[in-house]
Amino acid sequence: MARLIDFTLQCKILEESDKPFSAETAKLVSDELNQALLDLHKRGSSSSSLRSRTPIARISESFEPLATSSSRISSIMDVAVDTVICRVMFVFYTNGIQYTKCSLETSQAATLKEMLRAISAKARRPAQLCRVFSCDKLWGKRKEIDLHETGKKRLMEIPSTKPNRLNFIVDYVNKFPFIPIRFSPLEWSSMSEEEEDVHFPAGHVIEGGHGKYVIEKLLGEGGFGAVYKVYDQSDKTKLYAMKVEKKKEERKDSKLKMEIAILKLVANERKDSHFTSIVDRGKKDTYFFLVMQLVGKSLADLKNKRPDKVFSLPTGLGVSCQCLEAVEDLHKHGFIHRDLKPANYACGLADKKRVVYILDFGIARKYVNKDNVLKTPREKARFKGTVKFASLACHRNIELSPKDDCESWYYLMLDRITQREAVMQCKEDCRRGEKRAKLFDGLKSAEMELGKIMDYIDSQQYYSKVDYTFIYELLKVACTNAGASLDDKYDWEKDD
């Protein structure tokens, strides 16, 4: 096997050159391959055993494009390793729109969506929010791919000008190709690995310490695992949400452990808590699970249901006030969330439909030590969160503190009350000048107060103690100036 791996590396080195094979080189390659396969056969294996690769074999940390020169080596390499090389131009946002090139080596049988999931998981970006283009090796002749039609196609079925070579542009900013290209290195090590989910069919029963729960349907999947809607086997009217996380040997603690610790700490912070209640929890041989209060639609879903994809100003500001209350309660107990976004907030059900709940503490961090003193900031902190709503410090790999959660909260507030997608793509520029004026276009009645909130958050430092009351008062004034009240019915309450 070592000989075969060494041979494959030799092939890759040879492939970097466009020079034609000499008769001696051709004979050497042929002899090496035959000997490698013979060695493998003597060990009781066969060349087919090399094909038992996972759909996504690995993602290279090299950003140099692989050679796509000739099929003279490809035909030899494919005998040894059943792979396809996907070269990807990755369009992302960090202090401006930038580009990075990377390479993905995967099975020919993998689908386009599997390739896309691997790239997205490494980059902590939602695969469903990107555009994908096929292109030539010089990133030209671009053609957008309809993922609904082509996503399930195996890579070997996608037309290619070179054998075993595919080139894609994966655009998470949805601006390509209308902006100038700037290449920048991207730290893959700062991104989280894709999780392997535990999947259960409808009707599957999971027994906990306080009852048995029947899977009704899958609600969603995320970095931690999967969330299911379940009901109590003894009473079908009792509906809950169940989070399931696969056990991993290399991980010391379950991600759900952090979530459980936080939910227990903040449960009684307010009369109408912004944190879901714990019903049951447990672990099985291959997974951990948490049964909790079931909530309604996320703020992202509720906003997208609006005719113009935006909340009314009273609803947007009122909901933002509750979202900040949840963040404040979390900070009181020494935790920062680090991934605030509309998808991580949801409204309640029935008599709780006006209450906003904060969700998903998978990457939350304790920012104080055991003596409740702010920890000394690390020299460099890995990127955590969602690019669109991440703070400027997060983009710069600077240690995060409560003020960064507040900055993310501010971005998601703007996302709810304005249609200007560019808000999230000019984070630094929108602080001043003409772009600042355009930021609040259509929000004239609240422009002054919203500007003061942004200036206040920007004035905060790592060691600063956030004055949440000051922000609440400005939100109240902004709503009053708009001729409304924070207590007005929310948009989704009016629809009922």
Structure confidence at residue 433 as a pLDDT band (50, 70, 90) = confident
Comparing CA positions, the residue from 430, 350, 340 lying closest to residue 386 is 340
Task: Give the pLDDT score at 62.
Answer: 31
115 and 219, same domain (yes or no): no
- R_g of the chain computed on alpha carbons: 26
Read off the pLDDT of residues 160-199 as tens digits, 9 standing for 90 and up.
766 677 888 887 776 555 444 333 333 332 333 334 457 7
Averaged over 449-465, what is the pLDDT?
A: 94
Domain housing 461: 299-495
**232 found inside a domain:** yes
Residue-averaged pLDDT of the chain: 77
| Confidence band of 295 (pLDDT split at 50, 70, 90) | very high
Same-domain pairing of 219 and 103: no
d(CA 89, CA 132): 10
DSSP state of 155: G
Provide the pLDDT for residue 276: 96
| Whole-number percent of the chain with pLDDT over 90 | 37
Mean local confidence (pLDDT), 227-256 = 87
Residue 247 belongs to domain with CATH number: 3.30.200.20
304 and 256 part of one domain: no
Indicate which CATH number applies to the domain containing 186.
Answer: 3.10.20.90
Residues 457 and 351 in one domain: yes
Asked if the structure places residue 25 within a domain, the reply is no
Out of 293, 319, 344, a domain closes at: 293
325 falls within a domain: yes
**pLDDT > 90? residue 81:** no
> Average pLDDT, stretch 440-446?
80
Instruction: Determine the pLDDT at residue 491.
Output: 93
Residue 363 has pLDDT above 50, yes or no: yes
How do the residues of the chain divide into helix, strand and coil, expressed in percent and rounded to 5? 40, 20, 40
Most confident of 115-119, 143-147, 441-445, 462-466: 462-466
* Residue % of the chain over a pLDDT of 70: 70
Please, which pLDDT band fits residue 133 given cuts at 50, 70 and 90?
A: confident
Same domain, 175 and 307: no
Q: Which of 280, 339, 405, 415 is catalytic?
A: 339
CB 437 within 8 Å of CB 394: no
What's the rounded Cα separation, in Å, for the pair 383 and 126?
15
Residue 404: predicted pLDDT:
96
Indicate whether 214 and 288 sit together in one domain. Answer: yes
239 belongs to a structural domain: yes
Give every CB contact of residue 98 below 8 A, 6+ residues apart in sequence. 91, 92, 182, 183, 184
- pLDDT of 29: 54
- Are residues 175 and 121 part of one domain? yes
Q: Confirm if 295 and 347 have CB atoms less than 8 A apart.
A: yes
Query: Domain ends where: 190, 216, 236?
Result: 190
What does the pLDDT look like over 472-495, one tens digit per residue?
A: 999 999 999 988 898 899 999 987
Question: How many CA atoms, within 13 angstroms, populate the side-chain half-sphere of residue 400?
Answer: 30
CA pair distance 347, 466, nearest whole angstrom: 26
d(Cα 296, Cα 462) in Å, to the nearest integer?
Answer: 35
What value does the mean pLDDT take over residues 77-84? 49
Q: Which of helix, strand or coil describes residue 85?
A: strand
Q: Give yes or no: residues 397 and 454 share one domain.
A: yes
**Per-residue pLDDT at 35:** 59
Decide if 339 is catalytic.
yes
The structural domain count of the chain equals 3
In a domain, 211, yes or no: yes
**Selection from 31-45, 89-103, 370-384 with the highest mean pLDDT:** 370-384
0.75 exceeded by the pTM? no
Domain finish residue from 126, 161, 190:
190
* Enclosing H/E stretch for 241: strand 235-246
What does the pLDDT average to over 128-157?
A: 76
Quickly state the pLDDT bin for 25 (edges 50, 70, 90): low
Instruction: Output the pLDDT for position 222.
Output: 61
Mean pLDDT of 113-129: 71
Among the residue ranges 63-72, 246-255, 328-337, 395-404, the one predicted with the least confidence is 63-72
pLDDT band at 324 (very low <50, low <70, confident <90, very high): very high
- Per-residue pLDDT tens over the stretch 4-19: 444 444 454 444 444 4
Cα 10 to Cα 13: distance, rounded to the nearest angstrom:
5
- Tell me, yes or no, whether 158 lies in a domain: yes
* Residue 6 falls inside a structural domain: no
237 and 336 share a domain? no
Q: What is the pLDDT of residue 15?
A: 43
Pair 306, 284 in one domain: no
300 pLDDT higher than 60: yes
- Residue 19 inside a domain? The answer is no
Task: Check whether residue 130 and residue 157 sit in a common domain.
Answer: yes
State whether 441 and 318 are in the same domain.
Answer: yes
